[in-house]
Amino acid sequence: MPNEVAPIIIKRKKVVAGGHHGGAWKVAYADFVTAMMAFFLLMWLLGATTEKQRKGIADYFNPSIPVNKVSGGGAGAFGGSSIFTEDSLSENGTGAGLPVEFTASEADGRRSKNEREEERTGPADNNELTLEEIAELLEGKAGESMVSDLLSRHIVTRLTDEGLIVEIFDLPGEALFSGEDDATETLRAITSAVAEVFRLAGNDIAVQGHTAAVPLAARLNPVWELSQRRADATRRLLVEDQIDPERMQRITGFADRKPVTADPLSERNNRIEVILLRSKV
């Protein structure tokens, strides 16, 4: 029929936002990955730090100094004392902080150098003197010198990284040796006084011999053997003065290689160095 109205067809199209499956799962997954990363970071931090460091981190995120005078961190695993606890409690009169246990490596940094050295080498004998005190005895700085004023003119002491060096040297008209290695009465008196002081400590001892240079006209240069024999002669004198032979660690002859004056031929270069070595740590 020409007057018949055609039916109206309505087509509805469904549009899904974010693609076929949507995008909400991506947000959830990102949150999950972030949480897992934070969890593993926390586990690594717990395993890579000490208890003391963890308490410091806890204090940073949860400062409690103005709130709680005793606890410096949060509750549970991160609880602990503040780094200012001891100072603030002692001033306020509320008592000391809680005792904190430390591992051996942590506690080693909190002890003095002498305490750590005593732990490694055993307690020191209270009767033994330090190198500085022995030097003062030889120089008379402690009030009474162990060496007479006459003999002290032959002695110079100095403290080095190696130990206490007692340098005994010739003076014009007053040699330490007659001939090659025969000790004079002057040297015997000096070594006797030095041995008396060295017996106050248990450190090892080294002896070094030095000589003045000889004129180049000499056919044979005897300074090497001469310095060695004089050093060994000094060692024997110390042992005769009741120094334990086991304390002798080194006898060395330096010949004329280490002069102390501008003139290598000067008799001042004829000297013996007796070294009280520092204890091994």
Check residue 21 and give its pLDDT. Answer: 59
The mean per-residue pLDDT over the stretch 165-174 comes to 91
Look at residue 279 and give its three-state secondary structure: coil
Higher pLDDT, 80 or 138: 138
Handedness of CA 64, 70, 75, 80 (dihedral sign): positive
136, 88: one domain: no
Q: Tokens 């005593």 map to which residue?
A: 118
Single residue among 77, 96, 121 that ends a domain in this structure? 121
55, 94: one domain: yes
- 138-149 residue pLDDT tens: 776 544 555 676
Nearest to 187 by CA among 196, 174, 198, 199: 174
115, 136: one domain: no
**What is the phi/psi pair of residue 88, to 5°?**
-70, -40
Check residue 49 and give its pLDDT. Answer: 83
Higher pLDDT, 114 or 140: 140
Contacts of 103 (CB under 8 A, 6+ apart): 50
Distance between CA atoms of residues 233 and 191, nearest Å: 11
104, 166: one domain: no
190 pLDDT above the threshold of 50: yes
Q: Which domain holds residue 30?
A: 24-121
Does residue 201 lie within any of the structural domains? yes
Check residue 19 and give its pLDDT. Answer: 54
CA 236 to chain centre: 35
Give the range among 79-93, 124-138, 221-235 with minimum mean pLDDT.
79-93
Distance between CA atoms of residues 131 and 111, nearest Å: 23
